[in-house]
């Protein structure tokens, strides 16, 4: 068959069906009887709903009504008009594939919406180009620095997205996405148990980005940090497990390594130097500890992010230096000798998408450092690269180091398993940030909204 869609037997257990569908790139499977005759279709979301409402995991899928969305006998559409009607109906119901059956009802082929458009020369309209995706992803913290980039990338790759965010730093980062039929935006606080659980309805995969992010912000609001970064994270992971949602991507940080001499891989000892890093370690442990064959979380320990985002932050080293070069005509370096792994925000978002697209067994129940060996930099080097990129901006040095983190990280596992090597560069990002300042896209980089520790969401 052209598409690796799962075909299940009628007596396949619900548990087994969920596992097989989750390990395929699609959100549903066709069911056949012993003679191979098409019996209907099951969507993983329906199976999850059955379990939540009391079905037993060992019951067969045919114990409950199946979907009989569509099937096509001998590709029996005669005119492009019939094909167009079928396509628009399938789209409305979020169906991307249909089985072609022979006169005995056996599946001979599977066709996608695109195949039908091509076969019957139905013109590709904007709507057919934007096919409903197989998976619906909950992005908690989707309005943030990374989240607003990731949400756009997921939509562009055909995923349906529900963002849950309390908009600590305003909701403007998602403004120009409003109206996208594949995006649902929910304003809510993950710390509210009801909000946390109801956000999971009909979700196939969860990305948890929401947190109080950065050492200074967690210092200012320690209680909110513990509530959000550990307790709410734990509740969301537990609720996801109870909903049989196996893909759970947890945003962690290379700050968990704190200080270290060697080049640190995923098994290196952790050495947190802040409340922020300690909360990230605790939730990593809790979430990974819940992992089993049904709930397969992935922990992504990212380097310090940089680059332009619809929710801009100027409290990240590359972004700060680039902005100061433009505003003050100079870069100030504190310390300078300390190592820090850096990662472009576009690259970070790409890794999340690849984890959602990867086979579950390749990424589930594991930790990945996310970054590139080549982007382990000393802070002094970062200043020099930015200075050169921006035409030789002067650098001044202050020996006092306000941030004790100093670590180099190995990203070999990311490139071995996900085959991904980051492509964004510090100099490119510095130029892009300055371009956005010069053109007035960002009018006043001193506004508190660009710095997490001010917790500011005031309108301009």
CA angle 274, 214, 369 (to 5 degrees): 85
Nearest to 332 by CA among 376, 382, 391: 382
DSSP H stretches of helix in 300-405: 317-328, 345-357, 360-363, 379-389
Closest contact distance (angstroms) between CB of 367 and ligand NAD is 13
Give 10-33 as a 3 state SS string.
CCCEHHHHHHHHHCCCCCEEEEEC
Nearer to ligand NAD by Cβ, of 304 and 425: the residue is: 304
Q: Which is nearer to ligand NAD, 97 or 145 (CB)?
A: 145
Cβ proximity to ligand NAD: between 147 and 258 the closer is: 147
Q: Taking the CB of residue 131, how many other CB atoms lie within 10 A of it?
A: 18
Shortest gap between Cβ of 409 and ligand NAD (angstroms)?
11
Strands in 94-214 per DSSP E: 97-101, 107-112, 136-140, 160-165, 183-187, 205-208
> How crowded is residue 10: how many other Cβ atoms within 10 Å of its Cβ?
16
CA distance linking residue 399 with residue 336, whole number of Å = 8
CB of 171 to ligand NAD, least distance (A): 8
Q: How far is the CB of 3 from ligand NAD (least distance, A)?
A: 34
Question: Where does this chain bind ligand NAD (CB under 6 A)?
Answer: 140-141, 143-147, 164-169, 189-191, 209-211, 213, 228, 232, 251, 253, 302, 304-305, 311, 313, 316, 452
Question: Would you say 169 or 295 has its CB closer to ligand NAD?
Answer: 169
Q: Report the residue number, 87 or 317, with the smaller CB distance to ligand NAD.
A: 317
Element (H, E) at 373: none
Nearest Cα to Cα of residue 431 among 391, 394, 390, 383: 390
**11 vs 191, which CB is nearer to ligand NAD?**
191
Give the residue from 305, 327, 296 showing the smallest Cα distance to 255: 305
CB of 37 vs ligand NAD, minimal distance in Å:
48
Residue whose Cβ sits closest to ligand NAD: 144
Contacts of 305 (CB under 8 A, 6+ apart): 145, 146, 316, 342, 343, 344, 345, 348
Q: Which is nearer to ligand NAD, 87 or 150 (CB)?
A: 150
Q: Minimum distance from CB of 36 to ligand NAD (Å)?
A: 47
**Residue closer to ligand NAD, measured from CB, 69 or 215:** 215
Residues in the chain: 460
In angstroms, what is the minimal distance from the CB of 161 to ligand NAD? Answer: 14
CB of 301 to ligand NAD, least distance (A): 7
């Amino acid at each position: 068959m052209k598409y690796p869609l799962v075909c299940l037997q009628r007596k396949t257990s619900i548990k087994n069906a969920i596992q097989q569908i989750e390990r395929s790139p699609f959100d549903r499977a066709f069911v056949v009887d012993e003679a191979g005759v098409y019996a209907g279709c099951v969507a993983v979301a329906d199976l999850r709903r059955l379990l939540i409402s009391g079905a037993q995991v060992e019951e067969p899928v045919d114990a409950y009504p199946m979907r009989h969305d569509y099937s096509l006998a001998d590709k029996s559409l005669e005119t492009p008009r019939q094909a167009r009607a079928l396509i628009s109906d399938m789209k409305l119901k979020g169906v991307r594939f249909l089985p072609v059956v022979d006169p005995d009802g056996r599946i001979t082929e599977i066709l996608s919406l695109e195949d039908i458009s091509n076969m019957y020369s139905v013109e590709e309209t904007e709507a057919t180009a934007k096919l409903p995706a197989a998976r619906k992803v909950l992005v908690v913290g989707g309005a943030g620095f990374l989240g607003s980039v990731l949400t756009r990338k997921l939509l562009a790759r055909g995923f349906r997205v529900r963002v849950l965010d309390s908009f600590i730093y305003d909701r403007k980062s998602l403004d120009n996405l409003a109206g996208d039929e594949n995006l649902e935006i929910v304003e809510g606080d993950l710390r509210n148990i009801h909000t946390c659980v109801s956000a999971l309805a009909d979700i196939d995969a969860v990305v948890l980005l929401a947190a109080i992010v950065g050492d200074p912000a967690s210092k200012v609001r320690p209680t909110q940090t513990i509530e959000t970064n550990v307790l709410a994270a734990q509740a969301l992971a537990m609720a996801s497990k109870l909903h049989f949602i196996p893909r759970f991507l947890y945003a962690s940080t290379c700050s968990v390594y704190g200080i270290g001499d060697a080049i640190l891989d995923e098994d290196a000892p952790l050495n947190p130097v802040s409340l922020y890093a300690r909360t990230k370690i605790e939730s990593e442990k809790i979430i990974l500890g819940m992992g089993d064959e049904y709930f397969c979380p992935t922990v992504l320990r990212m380097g310090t992010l940089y680059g332009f985002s619809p929710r801009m932050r100027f409290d990240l080293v590359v972004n700060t230096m680039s902005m100061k070069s433009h505003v003050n005509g100079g870069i100030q370096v504190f310390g300078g000798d300390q190592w820090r792994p850096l990662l472009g925000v576009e690259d970070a978002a790409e890794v999340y998408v690849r984890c959602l697209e990867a086979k579950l067994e390749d990424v589930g129940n594991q930790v990945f450092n996310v970054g590139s060996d080549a982007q382990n930099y000393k802070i002094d080097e970062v200043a020099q690269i930015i200075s050169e990129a921006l035409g030789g901006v002067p650098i001044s040095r202050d020996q006092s180091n306000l941030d004790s983190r100093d670590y180099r990280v190995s990203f070999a596992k990311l490139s071995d398993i996900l085959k991904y090597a980051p492509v964004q560069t510090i100099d490119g990002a510095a130029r892009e940030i300055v371009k956005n300042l010069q053109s007035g896209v960002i009018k006043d980089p001193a506004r508190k909204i660009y710095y997490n520790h001010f917790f500011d969401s005031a309108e301009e």
